[in-house]
Amino acid sequence: MLRLALSHVESRAVAEEVVQDAWLTVLRSLDRFERRSSLRTWVLGIVVNCARSRARTERRIVTTSSESGPVVDPVRFLPANHPRWPHHWAAEPTEWRTPEAELLVRETRSVILDAIDALPSTQREVVLLRDVEGLQSTEVCNILRITDTHQRVLLHRARSRVRNALERYFAATEAT
């Protein structure tokens, strides 16, 4: 009976209450049992009816928090004295990425990281420090103990190779 009630209501506690209600209904209605089905089938039918009724009631109940307030921060709306759109959203929703766009981003990132891994070590170090870690050129020069001119040449060559790898990747994907 409990398993049957659980298939209709959200929690075990509510299901236990349904079973209790069903037993009370069985005891009150036992004199109306007509023996058109087995007693077991009749009792389980009462459980199903009680569970469905309770589930409908549970869905109608709206729980509210004692700290209820605005669901959305009021600063996200235009002021009441706005000339054209009072109380409307201040900013339009941002677009969500599609699964296809996420896949393309991951593939592109993979191409970039593979291209960086294929660089000569000095170029790889410079591009990682500058473009991945976001360090300033003076910091990179100090870390690698190279001149600013040498750092710029290494960075230019590294970025050019990564760009060539990306161009080959996108040319290949456009061809298919």
The C-alpha atoms of residue 77 and residue 28 are separated, in whole angstroms, by: 57
**Residue 27 banded pLDDT, cuts 50, 70, 90:** very high
Kindly state the average pLDDT of the residues 11-39: 92
pLDDT for the residue numbered 123: 95
Summarised one tens digit per residue, pLDDT across range 105-141 is: 999 999 999 999 999 989 999 999 999 889 999 999 9
Single pTM value for the model:
0.47
Q: What is the pLDDT of residues 57-97, one digit of tens each?
A: 888 775 555 556 777 888 888 999 999 888 898 888 888 88
Going by pLDDT thresholds of 50, 70 and 90, the confidence category of residue 157 is very high
Q: What is the pLDDT of residue 68?
A: 65
Contact between 125 and 117 under an 8 Å Cβ cutoff? The reply is no
Per-residue model confidence (pLDDT) at position 175: 67
User: pLDDT band for position 10 (50/70/90)?
Assistant: confident
Distance CA 14, CA 58 (A): 9
Q: Domain locations in the chain? A: 2-60, 99-175
Q: For 77, phi and psi rounded to 5 degrees?
A: -110, 155
Angle, vertex CA 26, rays to CA 7 and CA 18, nearest 5: 30
What is the structure's pLDDT at 172? 86
Burial of 108 (0-12, 13-18, 19+ CB in 10 A): middle
The reported pLDDT for the residue numbered 24 is: 95
Spatial contact of 123 and 152, defined as CB atoms under 8 Å apart: no
Give the CA distances from residue 104 to residues 107, 112, 128, 167, in Å, rounded to whole numbers and listed in that order: 5, 12, 22, 14
In terms of Cα–Cα distance, which of 33, 37, 3 is closest to 19? Answer: 3
> CATH topology for 99-175?
Arc Repressor Mutant, subunit A (1.10.10)
Looking at residue 124, its pLDDT comes to: 93
Give the pLDDT mean for 149-161.
Answer: 96
Calpha distance 25→29 (Å, rounded): 6
Helices in the chain by DSSP H: which ranges? 2-6, 12-29, 39-60, 99-117, 121-127, 137-144, 148-175
